[in-house]
Amino acid sequence: MRRIPATLSVAALLAITTACSSLSPPGKEATAQARLTDLRPVRDGGTVTIGLKSDPDMLDPSLTSTLVARTVFSSMCEQLYDVDQDNEFVPQLADSMPKITDGGRTFTFTVRKDARFSDGARLDAEAVKTSLDRHLHLRGSGRASEIDSVQKVTALGPYTVRLSLSHPDVPLLGRLANTAGLIMSPKALGTYGRDFATHPSCVGPFRYDKRVVGDRIELTKDPLYYDADKVHLDRVIYKTITDGNIRMANIRSGDVQIGDQMGPVEVRNSMGEKDLQLLNTPSLGYMALTLNVGNSHGIDKAPGPVDTPFGRDVRVREAFDLSLDRTLINKLVFQGMYEPACGPVPPGTPLSTPLTCPKRDVAKAKRLLKEAGVKTPVPLELMINTTPDDSRMGQVVQAMAADAGFEVTLRPTEFATGLTRTLAGDFEARTGGWGGQPDPAGNIDSLVGTKGSNNQGKLSDPTIDRLIVEGRSTSDIAKRREIYRRLTTAINKQHGVIYLYRNINYVSASKDVSGIKLSGDGLIKVKEAGYTKGSR
């Protein structure tokens, strides 16, 4: 679809889009039911190539901030805990669930005694302590605010770890089942330090072999892995293919066997093809538009003034929010196969409450801009990823916002470059998402808390910060549900993160490959995958 001028109305955009293709998604009912695995028998050997939507950032668990990096880590770096296909927490490198004592201020757990890192070092309590201390204290760590309740990590004997907390932190287990729970080889950390990303070593079914930045990451089966007899593939290659149509073409040709984060258009167009299979699960995360309201000196610095209409006045941000129609965005961009979203808590989870998204209100948006005393059209540069989906969404946002008095300039930016600019505060607004965690604190605390290590726009609000602490401090389901309802209201009142839609994790794959598993948080697991018996 061609670039849409900012002066084009939504009505004209709708006419153009409906002329291009039907908004009614045939086959949507066939993709609605979650399918998380395929368990046909497989043979040993072979290489599987997985097409990624974007190039991962650093392969360093302390410093990474991307979902695609987590996808790669799922094959080479295990966590203390994991999320199963029912969104339940289960031990992974820990060999039991934690014992929580002292009113929630002490977590004690033991780790596996049979695990080795890919460089030969043994997993033990000291290795866990080394990684967790690094997550907490390494400059620029994206994990620091995620586990900032941990005051001290103690190795109690060879395989027992105690976490001493500054306050009760109910969501901590969920974070240890995510990137903050990834454990790195102390030997590799001692040798490479901040260059760990170029020589990563963890416990996992596959070990790091090499990387060509922007193109591919190659992994090889790790013979030291404690569960190596369940690993069938010889190698796994993660190849960056940003265009979903090209990812699908590569699957059809056999150059790629699994396509990650496939879009609705590609999924719909491939329905019924006999050589392909589809796995999918609802997302625990969200996609949003983040406005820079306080990131004036970089994400690792305290919030500072941003001298733009959006940074100065919440009324401008609210007007922009009111210019958008989430339901229409879903129809125009994603053919109705996603769901509108207006909050960080995934629906249908124990701590969610029913939430009605605000309707588009152009008249009110114009009134707010007049009250704010800003000259219209209000300019905004919106950084988008260089993918067809992001291009379509950017064009729709551009046209909708124009009706209310905004002039949006789209800035397509390669993913890694965009992330670097974002972390440095060199942006006005950007599209992006969060993969999500079962506990809503994992979707909120580090992303909108004042000291959050993933708070890209540096939103800062004392009410939000206070409610974040309250949400961590009680295990009562009803109380936490009410806290997160109020927290969602407080976040939306600031209009610094404008939640737009909640996707479905679609994974397309060749029928020749079986044993693929999707976790409840949408990660592709190929530990037990392989080519089906009798296949090429």
pLDDT band at residue 38 under the 50/70/90 scheme: confident
pLDDT higher at 413 or 6: 413
H or E, element range at 498: strand 497-502
What type of residue sits at position 434?
W
Query: Is 3.90.25.10 the CATH classification of the domain at 284-502?
Result: no
CA distance 326 to 387: 20
- Are 419 and 66 contacting, i.e. CB atoms less than 8 angstroms apart? yes
The confidence score (pLDDT) of residue 22 equals 30
Residue written as token pair 């014992």: 99
User: Between residues 324 and 65, which one has the greater pLDDT?
Assistant: 324
Give the pLDDT score at 87: 78
User: In residues, how long is the chain?
Assistant: 536
Average pLDDT over residues 274-286: 90
Query: How many Å separate Cα 317 from the centre of its chain?
Result: 24
Whole-number pLDDT of residue 48: 98
CA 284 to chain centre: 9
Q: What is the pLDDT of residue 179?
A: 94
Give the span between the Cα atoms of 96 and 117, in whole angstroms.
Answer: 20
Give dist(CA 520, CA 90) in Å, integer.
Answer: 12
pLDDT recorded at residue 437? 83
Per-residue pLDDT tens digits for 211-228: 999 999 999 999 999 999
Q: What is the per-residue pLDDT for 489?
A: 97
Measured CA to CA, the distance from residue 400 to residue 360 in angstroms comes to: 9
Q: In this predicted structure, what is the pLDDT of residue 37?
A: 77
pLDDT of residue 17: 44
Q: What is the mean pLDDT of residues 21-41?
A: 54
The structure tokens listed for 452 are: 């959050």
What mean pLDDT do residues 500-528 have? 91
pLDDT at position 311 over 90: yes
Is residue 349 pLDDT above 70, yes or no? Answer: yes
Q: Where are the domains of the chain?
A: 37-48+206-282+505-531, 78-198, 284-502
- Average pLDDT for the chain: 91
Asked if pLDDT for residue 513 goes beyond 50, the answer is: yes
Judge contact between 52 and 71, C-beta under 8 A: yes
CB-CB contact of 183 with 93 (8 Å) = yes
pLDDT of residue 265: 85
Tell me the whole-structure pTM to 2 decimals: 0.83
- Give per-residue burial for 504-519: e unless 16+ CB within 10 Å, then b: bbbbbbbebbbbbbbb
CATH topology of domain 37-48+206-282+505-531: D-Maltodextrin-Binding Protein; domain 2 (3.40.190)
417/384 Cα distance (integer angstroms): 11
Question: Class of the 78-198 domain?
Answer: alpha beta
